[in-house]
Structure 1
């Protein structure tokens, strides 16, 4: 760990020194290129970058927010396939596929997020598609096709984006339809049997209406094998589609209706057992009925392939998400524009369940009914965008009504007592529940030019959230329960309640900016974030009676100083931020085996408070017309000041009591150092087009998977190397590329389960990121 920390510190120092030398004029000759040259390594250095981070169009330099932007063209040239690629490009961002799934998103920004994707739990980073908030992480691994850009806003965005943007926000912005008929078709083939087809296009129907469509069909063989069932694991089989209608009745009116649907039938990501199957399970679990296999226990060591498993359940999964939205804009005058965003979304997950122990025996299995999870949401937002002389701003209101529900059985096999050839006696915990949410908000954000160089921005948001939670949990004898439509003998009812909670919060933001020049800006800001509380859908009211009262909101106060600048006709851009956050009421999910007999106990703690400090740096330099370099570096120092969690009660009743364990806890999914360095080189072939070569190395220092360090599953420092070579025809009609990702074939964990102990089969399981892949693509545009 220390070696990597020193290495990254040295890299940061070198990068900063180089930037300072350029700013001081030590190497101006590098930028003395012909201004009339058209072909450059990266055209973004000459284009003014426009973003909508504050709900209105502004240049990137003028926005007093730590903000990273990747255009659709940049992502295309780098070979990015879905939004998890942003983790390699953005400082202090964790954006990964959640454990045990292929389509659920885990997101952290500056140490704040949510790993547990159970229904009813709220993410700590907001995801938006064209200003529509995506409330749940299921089905949120968005494929990258037909987009204009993706913006990553770091730090609390409580004023303009409101609920659950306590860590930041990710904005996925699709492209507006072309004024002329257009079509783009792309085919991908690659390692692991990859074969994809992506197509998009639009056509005007007269002077007022345009229609467009986009579809992506993705197929790939699995990275591993389930050696018990013969099924592949970690494959991809999905499709996504979007239909869009845009209408411009007049120069002052614009309407956009967009409908989308995604179906993902990919096989499960089971994870890899990091410990051997206990020898104490000898013959009984793996010999004779009901599994019809005859393999001695010693044949089940830790598997060499990190994507391989012996899981007995959970191969099949299906996730369906869909929605429809309407955007309406009315430009009343030069000073006032009215905007409305209306949306409805729903999702459903079907699956066999999850095998926590990774063995054929149901030692610790979660099995599901036909529909294990479903949700729906309706939202309405109205905005008034104002602009008059020396001030601009937006005021608005927001409403959302959402529901999420699910059910499952947790089978806890008592394998050591099983007789050879006989079914394993089991304890089953049946769990079901739902959360209904209503959210209301009023907000405003205004910035005023006090002078030619000084700007002040003030904003605030009032939020009210009403939640109703219904939770049921009981123990049954046998492998199943009535919760999922199976047989089971009731042994003990653990939880059965309905409760309501209401939360209100005001989240202000203030910033002061000073223009050092037309293309450089320094700012200082304060912002507050709020994530609502709720109910633990797995709560055990017998072991932890307070679960019926729910848990409280999270709050964070962040102070930030930043600088953004562009120099030498935008051949050099620099953005840096220094921040400190006080984080209160952090919601942490933990699960333990209860030795007093109620089985697996889950609780959500408001653990106390913590302090997060950090630095971020992004820099890009067009050294010659053909060659550019870029870097992004993030550093975080996060520590708990207080951490109150349930710990076993020596007295035995209740089974768990609260204790302060701050000294033994760390931030999960938050490496101390992270970032990337990259280069782009353009070969101008004249009439034969051009070849763009892109290489990048991303790095992350050691990461803990949970708040409690666990050496068996925590991930050490690692680096990922990517490279792309793309030829584009002179007419821009054809594009052929080859993209290599993780070329060094690094094995790295992105998630884990940790349930050690003989009774549950030492269920210590790691989930790994994709191995080395190579993809060839052919694209035609007309």
Structure 2
């Protein structure tokens, strides 16, 4: 527990430093009416102010997201403590997410994330297409730590809630156009209007396009380009004062070219000789990949919310949703014209979910209870093409999931100052998996059009079914120190069920057909939230200590011409740290935002099969393993200057700087690991006096930093057949965007 105390002391020091800073600023902030705006969130499935929620939550409204220049949800990692949200390696719109060291790097079908993504309370099961563009939005909430009680599915690390705009009573038509670097061309149209007294409709459509940051020097195609179209339509019906219905539908299509990454080392053939054209390219956004320039990701969904306010005490909700998605693309691991290690692939999935909630409110108590059901199928296929030995390994399969759960969370005010919350969820997941894997002689298998390929060794062919059940509790206590300051402590448990590895190779790992087991996180947290100096300063802090058990880790080890994939329950780990978020209103015309996150994450046990030994044996690798996508420090500082121009409107200027300390791409340290870096952004926004017109100029990564966000590591020392394939994927370069918006 020493690390817990260290984290608490560091959090206390940060709190004290921020408080002292605020005292120093008090003399300059004497203007009447200066104060920090109160934020309302629904982290506990009911509306509460951010200060009153005994959970570590970061909330961003539409105006704050605009000042940040947030084009999609990955921008949140720059300002949210201990958060990683990134575009997955080899993709344009697949999401990789980690909170406090818990997440899922591998987006293969059938694997489930450790951070839950919700759009209007609908769980999004697939990571493909989950890099949501920010448009027509009310707010985004990031809940840190296990959220197993109220959110359940795969929120062992936390949850990201994307809340779209409600229609409201006033009609509106909004047009927005953005032009910028790399021939950026973004367009948005949205409209909403009431129809009579009981019905209202809205729609929004957007396209996001820009040329590539680099080129495919082999084919001439754009590389790191964007070609996304999306739309959303909603209908709200209020037949009586106590009844409300909302029907929503959305669709997204991503036709951006595949991202093949950047070769980080010289390519080598099977004899260890340099491959012509396989040198390291000077521009990190360029490639020479030859596996193709075709990529398509489609997602769509429909949901129905029904709400009945029975009386002042009870409200019931029903949330029904269906979603489906398809992905067709390719990943070129070797970044060369030849197929030294190429992976064409396709995924498809669909999910149906139904949730019923009952919200209770009394004089001294409030809470929510409900049941949840989900039926989902994830399927796919891919070829592993190794041209140096004229071999293709074909892989295909599917995972069907039925999930049932019941949950409740109730808060009771023991006194006017002290309240307690008790919650729990019972979850039962039934999973059925089917895996097929076979060698073929030839370039590509019949799964991807080569019917002349000669079948060889059958590596896997099995079906299996497993059931996982778990009760996850949550306890918290909140004490109201004053009207403006609350303290809380909590214990929560998160659970992610087991499953089947779609890459299972029964030749190399015979037990892989048995699947892998669930993982759990037990988290202890304490925090202070409140306002100071007549609400000129807002501070939210948290300190946490978590125990990670039966941790699921994907490990891929080259063995000859094949790759041994294992999803392992490697053992135990612990994490501790603190988080500070603050807003200071320095004067009526300027405010400051600051966030700071610290985490220390270590393995206590890492038991895995060592496939490099003969025969393979189980070893404890804990001293040689590290947490991935978990920088020790994350921080952000920004200023927001505003000036009233009278009849000419108003103008705001927002410069920000964000920091991430060094972090690892995988549990095994490698040359792909990213060093510490800073990112600098700024936005300048003019708004007309009546709010009808708006113009903005936004700069991102103004220092033009080059930083890795993912990679593949198959060096020559591990597999001579793969062309010494070590490649990296990079975050966007410096961009500048000008936008104009008009409302009618």
- TM-score for the superposition, normalised by structure 1: 0.92
Report the counterpart of residue 422 of structure 1 in structure 2: none
Residue 562 of structure 1 pairs with residue 561 of structure 2: no
1:644 to 571, 586, 607: 607
Q: CA deviation at 1:528?
A: 0.2
1:304-343 pair list within 5 angstroms: 304-343=282-321
Unaligned runs of 5+ in 2: 1-6
1:31, 1:568 within 8 Å by CA — same for their partners in 2?
no
Matches within 5 A, 1:286-365: 297-351=275-329, 353-365=330-342
* Alignment-derived partner of residue 664 in structure 2: 704
What is the aligned partner in structure 2 of residue 418 from structure 1?
A: none
Partner residue, 1:733: 692
Structure 1 stretch 544-553 or stretch 565-574: which is displaced more? 565-574
Aligned to 1:766: 728
Q: Which residue of structure 1 aligns with residue 572 of structure 2?
A: 609
Distance 1:738 1:329, change over 3 A: same
The structural deviation recorded for 1:650 is 3.2
The 5 Å alignment of 1:11-50 reads: 16-21=15-20, 25=23, 27-35=25-33, 45-50=35-40
Q: What's the counterpart of residue 277 of structure 1?
A: 267
CA contact (8 A) 2:706 2:730 kept: yes
Q: Classify the secondary structure of the residue corresponding to 2:310.
A: strand
In the alignment, the residues of structure 2 paired with residue 299 and residue 280 of structure 1 have an alpha-carbon distance, to the nearest angstrom, of 16
- What SS does the corresponding residue of 1:623 show, helix, strand or coil? strand
CA distance in 1, matches of 2:11, 2:478: 26
Q: Verify: 1:688 aligned to 2:651, yes or no.
A: no
Structure 2 residue aligned with 1:480: 444
Distance, in Å, in 2 between the alignment partners of 1:507 and 1:181 is 44
Q: Deviations over 1:258-279 (max 9, x none)?
A: 0000000001111000001227
Matched with 1:460 is: 424
Match of 2:516 in 1: 551
Deviation at 1:306, TM superposition (A): 0.5
What is the CA–CA distance in structure 1 between the aligned matches of 2:434 and 2:423, rounded to whole Å? 36
C-alpha separation in 2, matches of 1:19 and 1:46: 15
Decide whether aligned partners of structure 1 residues 282 and 637 sit closer, same or farther in structure 2, where only a CA change above 3 A counts. Answer: closer
Shift of 1:149: 0.4
Shift of 1:297: 4.3
SS of the residue aligned with 1:470?
strand
Quote the Cα distance in structure 2 between the aligned partners of 1:464 and 1:641: 29
Residue 716 of structure 1: which of 650, 653, 675 is its match? 675
- Do the aligned partners of 1:231 and 1:315 also contact (CA within 8 Å) in 2? yes
Indicate conservation of the 8 Å contact 2:407/2:425, yes or no.
Answer: yes
Structure 1 position 17, deviation (Å): 4.4
Deviation digits for residues 443-493 of structure 1, max 9, x if unmatched? 000000000100100000000000000000011111122333423212211
3-state SS in 2 of match to 1:439: strand
Alignment of 1:749-760 (within 5 A): 749-757=708-716, 758-760=720-722
After TM superposition, list the pairs within 5 Å mapping 1:53-452 onto structure 2: 53-278=43-268, 297-351=275-329, 353-368=330-345, 372-414=346-388, 425-452=389-416
User: Within the alignment, does 1:633 sit opposite 2:596 as a pair?
Assistant: yes
Q: 1:744 — aligned with what?
A: 703
Matched residues in 2 for 1:270 and 1:635: separation?
Answer: 33
Check whether the contact 1:464–1:503 (CA below 8 A) recurs between aligned residues. Answer: yes
Q: How far apart are 1:347 and its partner, in Å?
A: 0.2
Q: Is the 8 A contact 1:279 1:298 kept in 2?
A: no
1:135/1:279 Cα in 2 relative to 1: closer, same or farther (>3 Å)?
closer
Contact 2:400/2:433 (CA < 8 Å) preserved in 1? yes
CA distance 1:327–1:278, shift in 2 (3 Å): same
3-state secondary structure, aligned to 1:153 = strand
Distance 1:443 1:511 in 2: 16
Deviation at 1:27, TM superposition (A): 4.5
Deviations 1:207-259 (A, max 9, x none): 00000000111110001111111111110011110000001111111100000
* Of 560-569 and 673-682, the range deviating more from structure 2: 560-569
Equivalent residues of 2:10, 2:578 under 8 A apart: no
1:361 deviates by: 1.1
- CA deviation vs aligned residue, 1:697-753 (integer Å, no higher than 9, x gap): 01000010000000x211000000000001111111111010000000000000010
Q: Per the alignment, do residues 519 and 17 of structure 1 end up closer, same or farther by CA in structure 2, a change over 3 Å counting?
A: closer
Structure 1 residue 566: deviation in Å? Answer: 1.2
- Alpha carbons 1:281, 1:297 under 8 Å: kept: no
Asked whether the 8 Å contact 2:278–2:336 carries over to 1, the reply is no
Give the CA deviation at 1:22.
5.2
Q: Closer, same or farther in 2 for the Cα pair 1:333/1:87, shift >3 Å?
A: same
Distance 1:12 1:515 in 2: 20
Distance (whole Å) between structure 1 residues aligned to residue 429 and residue 270 of structure 2? 51
CA apart distance, 1:686: 1.2
State the alpha-carbon separation in 2 of the partners of residues 480 and 175 from structure 1: 46
SS of the residue 1:31 aligns to:
coil
Contact 1:46 1:569 in 2 (8 A): no
Q: Secondary structure at the match of 1:192?
A: helix
* C-alpha contact 1:126 1:170 (8 A) present in aligned 2: yes
SS at match of 2:505: coil
Match for residue 777 of structure 1?
739
Query: Closer, same or farther in 2 for the Cα pair 1:604/1:223, shift >3 Å?
Result: same
Q: How far 1:173 moved relative to its partner?
A: 0.4
Distance 1:436 1:184 in 2: 42
Give the Cα–Cα distance (whole angstroms) in 2 for the partners of residues 130 and 406 of structure 1: 28
Match of 2:629 among 652, 666, 669: 669
Counterpart position of 2:3: none
Q: Give the Cα separation in 1 of the matches to 2:10 and 2:480.
A: 29
CA shift for structure 1 position 186: 0.7
Question: Residues 685 and 406 (structure 1 numbering): CA distance in 2 closer, same or farther, change over 3 Å?
Answer: same
For residues 272 and 479 of structure 2, what CA distance do their matches in structure 1 show?
71
* Closer, same or farther: CA 751–32 of 1 in aligned 2, 3 Å: same
Aligned-residue offset at 1:388:
1.2
Alpha-carbon shift at residue 299 of structure 1 (Å): 4.4
**Is this contact kept in 2: 1:12–1:633, CA < 8 A?**
no
Look up the SS of the partner of 1:776 in the other structure: strand
Q: Any conservation in 2 of the 1:691–1:726 contact (CA below 8 Å)?
A: yes
**SS where residue 27 of structure 2 aligns?**
helix
Q: Distance in 2 between matches of 1:612 and 1:411?
A: 39
Alpha-carbon contact 1:703-1:714 (below 8 Å) kept: yes
Matches within 5 A, 1:496-645: 496-595=461-560, 599-645=562-608
Instruction: Identify if the C-alpha distance between structure 1 residues 457 and 134 changes in structure 2 by more than 3 Å, giving closer, same or farther.
Output: same
Structure 2 distance, partners of 1:537, 1:661, is: 24
**From 601, 617, 623, the counterpart of 1:657:** 617
Please report how far the alpha carbon of residue 77 of structure 1 lies from its aligned counterpart in structure 2 after TM superposition.
Answer: 2.1
What CA distance in whole angstroms lies between the structure 2 residues aligned with 1:11 and 1:63? 22
Query: What CA distance in whole angstroms lies between the structure 1 residues aligned with 2:367 and 2:523?
Result: 22
TM-score of the two chains, using structure 2 as the length reference: 0.96
